Amino acid sequence: MANISDVAKLSGLSKTTVSRVINNHPYVSDKKRELVLKAMKELGYTPNPSARRLRGQLTTTIGVIVPKIVNPFFASLVNSIELAAYKKGHQVLISQSNEDKEKELAFLNLLKTKQVDGIIMTSIENDWEMIEAYSKYGSILLCNDYVDQEVVPMIRLDQTKGAYLGAKHLIERGHQKIAYCTGGLFDEHGKGKDRNQGFQKALSEVGMKINPKWIFVDQHTVEDGKQVMKQILEMDDRPTAIFTGSDEVAGGIIIEAKEQHLTIPNDLAIIGFDDQPIAEIVDPKLTTIRQPVDQMGEKSIEVMIEMLENREMKIKNYELPIELIIRQST
Amino acid sequence: MANISDVAKLSGLSKTTVSRVINNHPYVSDKKRELVLKAMKELGYTPNPSARRLRGQLTTTIGVIVPKIVNPFFASLVNSIELAAYKKGHQVLISQSNEDKEKELAFLNLLKTKQVDGIIMTSIENDWEMIEAYSKYGSILLCNDYVDQEVVPMIRLDQTKGAYLGAKHLIERGHQKIAYCTGGLFDEHGKGKDRNQGFQKALSEVGMKINPKWIFVDQHTVEDGKQVMKQILEMDDRPTAIFTGSDEVAGGIIIEAKEQHLTIPNDLAIIGFDDQPIAEIVDPKLTTIRQPVDQMGEKSIEVMIEMLENREMKIKNYELPIELIIRQST
DNA sequence: TTGTATGCGTTATCAG
DNA sequence: CTGATAACGCATACAA
């Protein structure tokens, strides 16, 4: 592999001049620039990023951490981030934490060691205090997930509003008995609390209260959805509608409901979250709350690059629109 | 960020000794080893990978390139690779080529610059000659996709057999008019030729021939599947069964078929490929050909690590089992 | 406008 | 068993 010295030798110039050409510095005569460029091409030269990193400064590489890449929501989010970054000349390194605190920290270590300029976190597993320690080594941006204090730039959606819209929609369809199914917990402070709030707000506006038996926490997959449906079927007092935190879970509920010969939405109305491809695959098609994945990716990269160019940037949060998509399941 | 000198200073030893401890070299007394370990912990020291890379040798990082991460088959393949690598103490950097030759080469450049020890390619966009040029800088392994010559280790499936099983199954169900839908081309040499061969073999064994009008090439998504179905509906002479190269496309066909009030499998039988989650989500559930994604990931990492430890390893190919899963769509 | 010398953090070589 | 030193490839301060 050719290095900068080889290029210098072949072009008959110094390493410094070559370096200047590589980095588009001024004060290089056009003639010599040509010479260098020619030599670079001839040798198939690529600057060695490890050396550049070691030396300091930028890597034009951005890390993205997702909990699970097999989750279609995160796959499409990663996709949109990657495309946006590529347009701006940045490479993207992806890693999945598998919801494991250790792995999350291992990936953040890339910052410490300057392998990436910044990291976009789409989920956060450790306490913020843990993660904050890494922010002095590089830029951290939260996209999708978030923390309560305004201590780091965040790209987020008004989850409260999204859940509110969904719940209200069910109420307007005449439902009085609505179950709630979340990937997080159902309390004031845990994961997914915004959605909880939005949901409860819609209910309390019309004087409704949720039956605690109809709350399902920590549900993520199609399989989880099927299990939820089975549990509901065994209840004496069944809900007539289900609000879920993911299209996957909603899809599972629909599949199992049909298996049990329930008619949707007549016997049971279901609403999803995310507007993933599965929403249009299941039959009946899923009413859901759309998260604007493409915008999230683009905004993340935009803000990340801004952060990199200006390390002392003021911390700002960005909120993207969230929207109810009505299909056949409600 | 603490470096090796800091550790040396704090422990009162030389950088060399610290380095020896880090790399588990022999000839370090237990006492000094303890000392170093303690200092490392105290400073929260992590060796700087850029420096290690620059110096040469291994990075314990493996790259994986996929065409599109939003394709669930590749997402799950990446997932299984990542899990297997993590078990072995390797980090995985993922990148998507988006079926773009340039991007593929850009990622291969990570080899040239020693940012990764090896790259697992799950798809190959450029001609092999192009890619081969990079193999002198690091290990390249093909998983899923492949080339004809035995010039690089490959983890592959007997696609010919898979397609053969699928086609034969349709024939055994009594179908005489079978359409063929592929993500590649339909010729002797192009993408997907193995499946073509397997498909044709099954047909010719019973003296059948495919109607050229029933061949659909370059089909990938659910949306593509819907379009295929629409085209079929406009035909005078319609097939009674469709063989597809992906569960996504098969799913799209099913959705559109139901939209048009066809009964599956009575009016039309459909068979998918991959056994992705969608296969059990659509209604009726999809008969499909299972690709053993988990095994592919594990075997890839196993072979890759073997390659890294022994650069002059003999090139071998590995074939994994492929299997027909019969559900409701046939 | 160009070149020389230095150091980034690590590990291999060689000398004790 | 331990340590001093050079080298990996690059970019910058400084000198010319």
Give tens-digit pLDDT for A190-215.
667 889 999 999 999 999 988 999 99
Ranges for all domains in chain A classified under CATH 3.40.50.2300:
159-291
Q: How far is the CA of A51 from the C1' of C2 (A)?
A: 23
State which residues between 135 and 164 of chain A bring their CB within 7 Å of strand C.
Answer: none
A143 pLDDT more than 80: yes
Q: A139 vs A115, which has greater pLDDT?
A: A139
Q: How far is the CA of B23 from the C1' of C12 (A)?
A: 13
Residue that is written with structure tokens 């061969």 in the block: B197
Residue that is written with structure tokens 């509920």 in the block: A253
Q: How far is A216 from A237, CA to CA, in rounded Å? A: 15
Under 8 Å between Cβ of A45 and A30: no
Out of A69, A82, A281, name the one closest to residue B251 (CB): A281
Q: Could you tell me the pLDDT band of residue A56, with boundaries at 50, 70 and 90?
A: low
A114 pLDDT more than 80: no
Ranges for all domains in chain A classified under CATH 1.10.260.40:
1-58
Both tokens assigned to B52: 């290690």
pTM of the model: 0.82
Q: How far is the CA of A214 from the C1' of C14 (A)?
A: 73
Q: Give the pLDDT confidence of A145-167 residue by residue, as tens digits.
A: 888 888 999 999 999 999 999 99
Asked if the C-beta of B278 comes within 8 angstroms of chain A's C-beta atoms, the answer is: yes
Q: Is the CB of A54 within 7 Å of strand C?
A: yes
Residues of A in contact with B70 (CB under 8 A): 72, 75-76, 79
Q: How far is A233 from B30, CA to CA, in rounded Å? A: 64
The reply to whether residue A82 touches residue B72, judged by beta carbons under 8 angstroms, is no
Q: How far is the CA of B148 from the C1' of D8 (A)?
A: 38
Q: B218 vs A189, which has greater pLDDT?
A: B218
The reply to whether residue A106 touches residue B115, judged by beta carbons under 8 angstroms, is no
The reply to whether residue A106 touches residue B83, judged by beta carbons under 8 angstroms, is no
Residues of B in contact with A92 (CB under 8 A): 95
Across A79-88, A243-252, B28-37, the highest mean pLDDT is recorded for A243-252
Q: Could you tell me the pLDDT band of residue B85, with boundaries at 50, 70 and 90?
A: confident
How far, in Å, are A53, A300, A309, A313 from residue A60 at the CA level? 10, 15, 11, 18
Asked if the C-beta of A79 comes within 8 angstroms of chain B's C-beta atoms, the answer is: yes
What are the residues whose beta carbons fall under 8 Å from the beta carbon of B224, sequence distance 6 or more?
Answer: B248, B249, B252
Q: Could you tell me the pLDDT band of residue A50, with boundaries at 50, 70 and 90?
A: confident
| Cβ within 7 Å of nucleic strand D, residues | A 1, 3-5, 15-16, 19-20, 22-23, 45-48, 51-52, 54-57; B 13-17, 20, 26-29, 31-32, 51, 54-56
Is the domain A159-291 a CATH 3.40.50.2300 member?
Answer: yes
Asked if the C-beta of B259 comes within 8 angstroms of chain A's C-beta atoms, the answer is: no
At B87, which amino acid appears? K
- Measuring from the CA of residue B19 to each C1', which nucleotide is nearest? C11
Homologous superfamily of B1-58: lambda repressor-like DNA-binding domains (1.10.260.40)
Out of A50, A54, A112, name the one closest to residue B114 (CB): A50
Q: Is the CB of A27 within 7 Å of strand C?
A: yes
What are the residues whose beta carbons fall under 8 Å from the beta carbon of B63, sequence distance 6 or more?
Answer: B92, B93, B94, B95, B107, B110, B111, B115, B116, B118, B119, B120
Under 8 Å between Cβ of A298 and A80: yes
Q: Which nucleotides of D are covered by protein (CB under 7 A)?
A: 1-13
> What pairing do the DSSP bridges indicate for beta strands B178-181 and A269-271?
unpaired
A318 pLDDT more than 80: yes
What is the reported pLDDT for A186? 67
The reply to whether residue A72 touches residue B70, judged by beta carbons under 8 angstroms, is yes
Q: Is the CB of B88 within 7 Å of strand C?
A: no
Q: Give the pLDDT confidence of B247-294 residue by residue, as tens digits.
A: 999 999 998 998 899 999 999 999 999 998 889 888 899 999 999 999
Q: Give the pLDDT confidence of A27-38 residue by residue, as tens digits.
A: 888 888 888 888
